Structure 1
């Protein structure tokens, strides 16, 4: 994985548990379908995506910075699911 600045690392550490829960629990993916490398790649992409990318949930990412790891993230869950689906199709 590429080197992250402090802000990106903090955001990554908050997003990774959410992406993992959504992929394995909510979407029912297996570890063969969605590997640790996939999890890392998607989480990193969510943290480093350009501001002009048309990700539906991007406006909510700034809210993540203020949330703890146990927070409920209903506003971005669907956006993360769409990113996972898109990633797995490629």
Structure 2
């Protein structure tokens, strides 16, 4: 579960990692269509998702996608399918 993850929405890519306490740390954001860096953070000072939203609120769609990817990573697929089945 630890490791580097990438989430992309509308030409913006967030690179983030999960620490051992299952917390998100945003490492950087790139504009993939222009190959430019939008934001970069120093190791040890990676903002969590709430802080990233506060610092870069215009990227709300990207932060929503990161949150979705985070929950997809944290909750195993078999648990997600069981939760869906109980709602039907």
Give the TM-score normalised by the residue count of structure 1. 0.28
Hey, which of these two has a bigger chunk of strand by percent? 2
Hey, which of these two has a bigger chunk of helix by percent? 1
Give the TM-score normalised by the residue count of structure 2. 0.28
Larger radius of gyration: 2
